A and B are shown apart, each in its own frame.
Chain A
Amino acid sequence: MKNNAIKTGGLIFWMVCLTMSFQSCGPDDPPIEPTPKTDKEVMLDFTSNFNGQLINYSTSTFTTSSMDTITPLRFKLILSNFVLTKMDNTVVNFPNTYGYVSFEENKRSVKLPAFAPGVFKKIEFQLGLDSAINHGDPSQWSAEHPLNTVLNDMHWGWSGGYKFVTHEGNFLKDGLNDVYTYHIATLPFATSISIDIQGNLNHTQDNAGTINIKCDLNHFFDGDNAFSIKTEGSSSHSAPAQASLINKLRANIKGMFSASAS
């Protein structure tokens, strides 16, 4: 009887050990499925310069072709209606994509949602918004949305819509510091921009690519029209009566941008 008890105890011991060793084995790892390829987003990276020179907003000083000595403080854009054009001239539209660029705050990225591969030669966008969005409820946007009014300070109040372009700074007038403020807004003054992409954007599912958009602030005052702050006006809030001034600036703005792909 004693012998049986001993044998039974030994048997139990080894059964427990065997059971625990089975428990420590997990299920086999599932086989690794190859990641399916999907369309990718593309980033637009905006940078600014003044005739090729780096701009430190609030401190850099430049002289325009009209001999205005300026210190840019703020330069901001609201963008919409992005379009990419392929080599065969077919287009990809991004109707519900918006961008807010604030150069002095270094907020410079706009994301185009995922789209199919292709080689693209041109990018277009609007500095401005369509009527429904411009005069819609500004509180509808999520916290990270470019049109959220906490994120950007481009909204003009309950009924005024957004400023599309803001350019503010200091300039010297008769040796004293004066200020300039250009606010381009309202639907008649939305501005369409079209830029050839140098080197084309080769957008693939392995490599989405980035479009680098440079903005030469010198063109704001010296594009199609040489613009003098001192003589033509140091501010605008886009009243209809200011159409002449605003349209001069808009013509200059059209030539501010260049694009390349990486």
Chain B
Amino acid sequence: MPVLANQMMKILGKFSAILVIVIVVSLIQFGCRKDVSTNPPKPDYIQLQKPFGFPAFISLKNNDLTEQGVMLGRMLFYDPILSEDSTQSCSSCHHQSAAFTDPNRRFSIGINGNVGKRNSMALFNLNWHVRGFFWDGRAATLQEQALMPIEDPAEMASSVPAALKRINGTLRYKQMFYKAFGVKEATGVELGKAIEQFLTTLISSDSKFDRSKRGGPGLSFDEMEGERLFNTENRPDFMIRGADCFHCHGESGLLFTNNEFFNNGLDDNLTDLGLFLTTGKVSDKGKFKAPSLRNLAFSAPYMHDGRFKTLDEVLDFYGDHVQLQSLNIDPLMKHSRPPQIQFNAQEKEYLKAFLNTLNDYTFISNPEFSNPFKN
């Protein structure tokens, strides 16, 4: 028995020694190793400066702005890699020089030569859009909106998985997504977030009107008269002349839109049902998002279908040709009841003078928003 016990002690002792060595070596390994996949580099967070007179910023959902995210989004915005044949980028239909619309084109053209059905919307001050994106509000967030053109047959005619395959097959983008979001392979979530971050930085707030509010040179007489007309209801019963623009285009601080959806009486017969296509509510037929009236000098043509080439045509419509029996015409168009507003020539000039004070030349030439592949 003692011999057996001794043998067992020998084995146990050797085993113990080996086990201790293994444990110590393992602890040293785990303690020193940095797992790349669980410790991505910390991105550099950005705090946007709220422009004077603008409402407070609205926080993006789960998408804090970072330098890495914004730069990545900017590159993706200008990179045709998103489209099926890699010929078309977001910027193909959203030119910075045109306040990020498609200049002088009523409908944009996709990669297959398909013509779109709605006018390309200007892209600026998007952070304050809380009621949906696109003319018909079909995207609840910018993250959603950014991905829809990729899959639209009339636009990029691809799919998000296919676009991601191309992106994840590019070493540069793999590295950029890792730095921005800590992922080794981008998904639709990170793709949407990156573009959302870049779009959020597109802030237009340096027009002549903005500068006048900040204490800079004031508006001219004509411009001030235009502003007065802009902010006045037309009340012939009280001998008051007004253009009544502010109800839809002025009531959210200096955004020059309240981002609501309205039928403004363009058509008696509705060929495009607008918001109804998103909500299914009959009462939303013919309603479209009221766009901002900033940067109109760069963003013609106008309306959801680009039917008006000039501001004169727009004012002619609002002054004389509102279709009062259009289904769901908004109550705020009441002043267009007969005999309608009927702007005179001088009033039109005043209004145009004021609207031109909302053009932001800094915005359309800001290098931070321009094509990074050309720098």
Contacts and interface: CB of A to CB of B under 8 A. Distances in A.
B172 interface: no
B368 to A, nearest CB: 23
Interface residues of B, number: 49
A3 B8 CA distance: 12
Interface in B266-307: 281-283
Nearest to B244: A237
Contact of A6 (B9, B19, B53, B213): B9
B130 interface: yes
Contacts of A7: 9, 13
Interface string A124-157: 0000000000000111011101001111011111
A181 B234 CA distance: 13
B259 interface: yes
A149 B255 CA distance: 10
A173 B14 CA distance: 103
Interface stretch (B30-38, B54-62, B176-184): B54-62
Contacts of A9: 12-17, 20
B113 to A, nearest CB: 39
A239 B13 contact: no
A182 to B, nearest CB: 10
B55 A154 contact: no
Contacts of B50: 139
B204 to A, nearest CB: 16
Interface size class of A (residues with CB under 8 A): 35 or more
A200 interface: no
Nearest to A4: B13
Interface of A: 2-3, 5-10, 12-14, 16, 58-59, 73-74, 137-139, 141-143, 145, 148-151, 153-158, 160, 168-170, 176-181, 234-235, 237, 239, 241
20 contacts: A5-B13, A6-B10, A9-B12, A13-B12, A13-B19, A16-B19, A73-B331, A138-B253, A139-B53, A139-B253, A142-B56, A155-B251, A156-B231, A157-B250, A160-B231, A168-B331, A179-B330, A179-B334, A234-B334, A237-B235
Given A13-B15, A138-B253, A139-B52, 9 more contacts: A9-B12, A9-B13, A13-B12, A139-B54, A150-B252, A150-B259, A153-B260, A168-B331, A169-B331
Q: Which 7 A-B pairs have the closest CB atoms?
A: A13-B16, A6-B13, A58-B283, A9-B13, A179-B331, A9-B17, A153-B258
